[in-house]
Chain A
């Protein structure tokens, strides 16, 4: 196997991508899959806003509106934000810790395909015509009563995608624990790696409750269970607890990697070491811990009693402390730095005020008595869009520009990038700032239309115009990506010129084995240290050139996910068709056979020989 590029046919290229276990390619697959669902969720958002742009609008029906809000939320959280972040984690974290791949390349691929087929399953509901319509939280009292197969698509689709997420979480944890390069102690890990680590630990403990909750829902709807049926002794509040025990950590699973991305960007473009690195790490871990202690603040109005509400209110407000630590650290990183306002830096600068506003409204809702007023109003919608769009989506857009050269080997156009930012940023504030007031003025969330003469017309119209501006920003980004890909100007190792972490020490995109020799890490911001000492090679090798062990590609992960995908349809149509049960059994059996094949057939990978490596290095030395 040689790394020298060979001209391959379309079939061979496709096969290569379907069977790949290379973390960089899987990162790109996650990015493309998540990007696709981001567009789907975005179209749903535009339809929602268009329906609400004027009073008494009948652009969509009330039922379709429920479908749209449910699918918008579910798609954006599970199928867009998380997979895109996983894409960056996959592409960047192994490079940042000086590893050649993740700990479990096979499981990495399986995690991607399960996400993809789970997302596909969920979205096939649009084609089938029965769409989930109980909100992304799918509260049991609503979801059990929902007719048709909509909620079944939700329960089974998320079950499959959630399994993939859990695997990805374990994979990142083990990668970071076991595969750091010599000298890369925990307290020398870049912040993006740290936040990936903590977010993965949260995935490990937050996703099993979701798995169980979705099984309960599936059993109740399809297999005669009674967990949430009040008349049969069940309790609908159990779903709310289980969902939020998962759901609250989930929002930190999204925001922590976003914090990591901005930490990298602030430090790189202020050309300064991250201010208060140890306190950043501590704050990350503390947020990860507290994130599990606050789920009932979503349930203040359920009636858990004043004691429970008080405890959860205090715990919720406590999270503002480590988050504040982070905000001040970012500000102080810029203080006295030599700031370069690139596109990623622009997003980072826009992120701080936006996210602080979302955080402050979060503390407001954390006050349980006030939450009784704000509950189920547009204020809530404004709040969570401020933290998720103002935090996570801005981070995703920033990281897209920041790491594009590392992932694809070419730079996105800076000018167009800034145009995207201006449209998106102004559009974002225009859409959601006014919604705080809409909430105060009494507009409830999740209503499909509103009456004239309540004073909500202008605010809703402004909000819709803002949403259109955001869409324009995204379209400019897509144009930017197309132009950049067509031009395809190749860039060097460190195209920003200010890279501090190990991913900038190797070529863009990196060769499939990443590092010809394992790097030696001598401190935080490894590459910056080497640069300051005039080391042209980018990093110091920790070992002589020797054979490299690599994993083999495999089609089994795709087949395993396909089996679950097929079984999902069987489970759904089990009672009403004769083919349902056989299809369920065949699908599961197929997955099981694939698992057994993986276990029984030895697959110990292959070696890249030393002389091949030396030849590669020499060839590249000649080019540079």
Chain B
């Protein structure tokens, strides 16, 4: 593949993310990877549901007292908005508008960072009030499920930061278009997982 081939918005393919065989392979492969990730999170969800509110005798934490919906609502808004901004970025990717794509991706990363910092705050608050990882089966399953999601967010942030800086000087080509596109797939996936965490962990936890 010629990395130095110059495009204009007119010559740029409609689907740059899968314009070559290598790109098509990555595209299909990444979708399959997300399929596997879905099963991974499904296992974590099942375990959490089985162990929620379960601890040693005299255990003092329950989902109703623990979770604070206002904080989680703000986190949800940040992450959902970051999914929207990543869609804008992909819109500009399709239109061969590199600068705007980078800008929207940077905004996506900042929103993701905001989410992650709130999650760190949430976790440290729980630890402070004694709800530590080793406190109970409930705490282990909670931190593992939500923490695995948070870890995915962190990986996504490192990934997109590397991509933004690596390609800052050289613009779009058919080699890195796939990388940007698979990142956006990944980011949407993280977002969908969070919607389930918000529902299954927090909403269902507060209701009962």
Rounded to whole Å, the gap between the CB of B150 and the closest CB of chain A is 15
Any B CB within 8 A of the CB of A225: yes
Interface of chain B residues 38 through 55 with chain A (CB within 8 A): 39-40, 43-44, 47, 50-51, 54-55
Question: Which residues of chain A have C-beta atoms less than 8 A from B54's C-beta?
Answer: 233-235
Q: How far is the CA of A219 from the CA of B47 in the complex (A)?
A: 14
Q: Are A232 and B47 in contact (CB under 8 A)?
A: no
Q: How far is the CA of A211 from the CA of B38 in the complex (A)?
A: 13
Q: In chain B, what residue has the closest Cβ to A166?
A: B36
Q: A103-B29, A232-B56, A602-B3 are in contact. Are A205 and B140 (CB under 8 A)?
A: no
Q: In chain B, what residue has the closest Cβ to A228?
A: B137
Q: Are A233 and B36 in contact (CB under 8 A)?
A: no
Interface of chain A residues 165 through 181 with chain B (CB within 8 A): 166, 170-171, 173-174, 177-179
Q: How far is the CA of A233 from the CA of B135 in the complex (A)?
A: 10
Any B CB within 8 A of the CB of A238: yes
Any A CB within 8 A of the CB of B133: yes
The 0/1 profile, CB within 8 Å of A marked 1, for residues 1-44 of chain B is 10100000000000000000100110011001101110110011
Any B CB within 8 A of the CB of A209: yes
Q: How far is the CA of A216 from the CA of B47 in the complex (A)?
A: 10
Kindly state the interface size class of chain A when it binds its partner. Answer: 35 or more
Question: Which residues of chain B have C-beta atoms less than 8 A from A212's C-beta?
Answer: 40, 43-44, 47
Q: How far is the CA of A178 from the CA of B25 in the complex (A)?
A: 7
Rounded to whole Å, the gap between the CB of A591 and the closest CB of chain B is 13
Q: In chain A, what residue has the closest Cβ to B138?
A: A233
Q: How far is the CA of A171 from the CA of B35 in the complex (A)?
A: 14
Q: Are B134 and A170 in contact (CB under 8 A)?
A: no
Question: Which residues of chain B have C-beta atoms less than 8 A from A174's C-beta?
Answer: 25, 28-29, 32
Q: Are A235 and B137 in contact (CB under 8 A)?
A: yes
Q: Which residue in A104, A166, A231, A599 is a CB contact (below 8 Å) of B56? A: A231
Question: Which residues of chain A have C-beta atoms less than 8 A from B28's C-beta?
Answer: 103, 173-174, 177-178
Any B CB within 8 A of the CB of A229: yes
Any B CB within 8 A of the CB of A204: yes
Q: Are A226 and B140 in contact (CB under 8 A)?
A: yes
Q: A174-B28, A178-B24, A224-B134 are in contact. Are A599 and B140 (CB under 8 A)?
A: no
Q: Which residue in A104, A231, A238, A602 is a CB contact (below 8 Å) of B47? A: A238
Q: Are B1 and A242 in contact (CB under 8 A)?
A: no
Any B CB within 8 A of the CB of A207: yes
Any B CB within 8 A of the CB of A223: yes
Q: How far is the CA of A233 from the CA of B47 in the complex (A)?
A: 12
Q: Are B25 and A235 in contact (CB under 8 A)?
A: no
Q: Are B55 and A242 in contact (CB under 8 A)?
A: no
Question: Which residues of chain A have C-beta atoms less than 8 A from B47's C-beta?
Answer: 212, 216, 227, 238, 242
Q: How far is the CA of A218 from the CA of B54 in the complex (A)?
A: 20
Question: Which residues of chain A have C-beta atoms less than 8 A from B175's C-beta?
Answer: 602, 604
Q: A208-B40, A215-B144, A231-B56 are in contact. Are A224 and B133 (CB under 8 A)?
A: yes
Q: Are A170 and B144 in contact (CB under 8 A)?
A: no
Q: A233-B54, A234-B51 are in contact. Are A226 and B29 (CB under 8 A)?
A: no
Rounded to whole Å, the gap between the CB of A244 and the closest CB of chain B is 12
Any A CB within 8 A of the CB of B162: yes
Any A CB within 8 A of the CB of B152: no
Interface of chain B residues 48 through 82 with chain A (CB within 8 A): 50-51, 54-56, 59
Question: Which residues of chain A have C-beta atoms less than 8 A from B40's C-beta?
Answer: 208-209, 211-212
Q: Are A233 and B136 in contact (CB under 8 A)?
A: yes
Q: Are B166 and A234 in contact (CB under 8 A)?
A: no
Any A CB within 8 A of the CB of B141: yes
Q: A226-B136, A234-B51 are in contact. Are A600 and B32 (CB under 8 A)?
A: no
Q: A170-B32, A178-B25 are in contact. Are A604 and B3 (CB under 8 A)?
A: yes
Q: Which residue in A103, A170, A213, A600 is a CB contact (below 8 Å) of B33? A: A170
Rounded to whole Å, the gap between the CB of B175 and the closest CB of chain A is 7
Residue among B47, B137, B166 having the largest count of chain A Cβ atoms under 10 Å: B137
The 0/1 profile, CB within 8 Å of A marked 1, for residues 163-201 of chain B is 000100000000100010000000000000000000000
Q: Are A225 and B144 in contact (CB under 8 A)?
A: yes
Q: How far is the CA of A163 from the CA of B133 in the complex (A)?
A: 25
Q: In chain B, what residue has the closest Cβ to A245?
A: B43
Q: Which residue in B35, B36, B134 is a CB contact (below 8 Å) of A225? A: B134
Q: In chain B, what residue has the closest Cβ to A602?
A: B3
Q: A104-B25, A174-B29, A604-B175 are in contact. Are A233 and B55 (CB under 8 A)?
A: yes
Q: How far is the CA of A436 from the CA of B50 in the complex (A)?
A: 38
Question: Which residues of chain A have C-beta atoms less than 8 A from B162's C-beta?
Answer: 596, 599-600
Q: Are A226 and B137 in contact (CB under 8 A)?
A: yes
Q: Which residue in B32, B43, B51, B141 is a CB contact (below 8 Å) of A204? A: B32
Q: Are B144 and A232 in contact (CB under 8 A)?
A: no
Question: Which residues of chain B have C-beta atoms less than 8 A from A233's C-beta?
Answer: 51, 54-56, 59, 136-138
Residue among A171, A229, A233 having the largest count of chain B Cβ atoms under 10 Å: A233
Question: Which residues of chain A have C-beta atoms less than 8 A from B135's C-beta?
Answer: 226
Question: Which residues of chain B have C-beta atoms less than 8 A from A220's C-beta?
Answer: 140
Question: Which residues of chain B have C-beta atoms less than 8 A from A238's C-beta?
Answer: 47, 50-51
Rounded to whole Å, the gap between the CB of B74 and the closest CB of chain A is 29
Q: In chain A, what residue has the closest Cβ to B133?
A: A224
Q: Are B25 and A205 in contact (CB under 8 A)?
A: no
The 0/1 profile, CB within 8 Å of A marked 1, for residues 127-169 of chain B is 0000001111111110010000000000000010010001000
Question: Which residues of chain A have C-beta atoms less than 8 A from B25's C-beta?
Answer: 103-104, 174, 178-179
Residue among A209, A227, A232 having the largest count of chain B Cβ atoms under 10 Å: A232
Question: Which residues of chain A have C-beta atoms less than 8 A from B140's C-beta?
Answer: 219-220, 225-227, 234
Q: How far is the CA of A209 from the CA of B29 in the complex (A)?
A: 19
Q: Are A209 and B144 in contact (CB under 8 A)?
A: no
Q: Are B133 and A225 in contact (CB under 8 A)?
A: yes
The 0/1 profile, CB within 8 Å of A marked 1, for residues 108-120 of chain B is 0000000000000
Q: How far is the CA of A174 from the CA of B35 in the complex (A)?
A: 13
Q: In chain A, what residue has the closest Cβ to B145?
A: A212
Question: Which residues of chain B have C-beta atoms less than 8 A from A226's C-beta?
Answer: 134-137, 139-140
The 0/1 profile, CB within 8 Å of B marked 1, for residues 588-624 of chain A is 0000000010011010110000000000000000000
Q: Are B137 and A104 in contact (CB under 8 A)?
A: no
Rounded to whole Å, the gap between the CB of A219 and the closest CB of chain B is 7
Q: In chain B, what residue has the closest Cβ to A107?
A: B29
Q: How far is the CA of A178 from the CA of B55 in the complex (A)?
A: 49
Q: How far is the CA of A231 from the CA of B33 in the complex (A)?
A: 37
Rounded to whole Å, the gap between the CB of A198 and the closest CB of chain B is 14
Q: In chain B, what residue has the closest Cβ to A599?
A: B162
Rounded to whole Å, the gap between the CB of B108 and the closest CB of chain A is 18
Question: Which residues of chain A have C-beta atoms less than 8 A from B55's C-beta?
Answer: 232-233
Residue among B54, B133, B140 having the largest count of chain A Cβ atoms under 10 Å: B140
Q: How far is the CA of A238 from the CA of B51 in the complex (A)?
A: 10
Question: Which residues of chain A have C-beta atoms less than 8 A from B139's C-beta?
Answer: 226
Q: How far is the CA of A225 from the CA of B43 in the complex (A)?
A: 16
Q: Are B137 and A229 in contact (CB under 8 A)?
A: yes
List 4 tightest A-B contacts by C-beta distance, closest first: A224-B134, A233-B54, A233-B137, A208-B40
Instruction: List residues of A whose CB falls within 8 A of some B CB.
Output: 103-104, 166, 170-171, 173-174, 177-179, 204-205, 207-209, 211-213, 215-216, 219-220, 223-227, 229, 231-235, 238, 242, 245, 596, 599-600, 602, 604-605
Instruction: List residues of B whose CB falls within 8 A of some A CB.
Output: 1, 3, 21, 24-25, 28-29, 32-33, 35-37, 39-40, 43-44, 47, 50-51, 54-56, 59, 133-141, 144, 159, 162, 166, 175, 179
Instruction: Supply 18 A–B pairs (Cβ within 8 Å), ascending by A.
Output: A174-B28, A177-B28, A208-B40, A208-B43, A212-B43, A215-B144, A216-B144, A219-B144, A223-B133, A225-B134, A226-B135, A227-B140, A232-B55, A234-B140, A235-B51, A238-B47, A238-B50, A245-B43
